[in-house]
Amino acid sequence: MKFAIALFSAAHAPSSRRALLFAQAALAGGHEIVRLFFYQDGVHNASGSVVTPQDELDLPRQWRTFVTEHQLDGVVCIAAALRRGVLNEEEAGRYQREAVAVAAPWELSGLGQLHDAVQDADRLICFGGA
């Protein structure tokens, strides 16, 4: 089965951990992940500037490692990222900001990427959100 996964919750939210566990289990079960799409507060899971307390799980690091190891398509909604100050080098330059929080393996892009993933997948699985 081919899955598209959308994550709407921040890095410290339990649903972010559940999303990662689901994604790991899906691949371990022989399924395919068409795309991971981080939207709303979920963009913080792709941020390299999140500092996690030592007694908590560093989900942004775990997501980055997971996406890199499995060569997955990890897309961060550009509008949600800009609103939250989660910028890549190109957007930081465009808006004359010094902070760069998003780098490989993440790609900043629009909601069209989620639409395309839904068209290619058998199921869209969403985590978090209101």
The single residue of 34, 77, 102, 117 carrying the catalytic annotation is: 77
Tokens standing for residue 42: 């979920």
Q: Decide: 11 and 52 in contact? Cβ < 8 Å.
A: yes
Between the alpha carbon of residue 93 and those of residues 37, 76, 87, 99, the distances in Å are 24, 18, 9, 9
Is 77 marked active-site? yes
Using the 8-state DSSP alphabet, how is residue 76 labeled? E
DSSP letters spanning 82-120: HHTT---HHHHHHTT-------TTEEEE-THHHHHHHHH
Catalytic (active-site) positions:
77
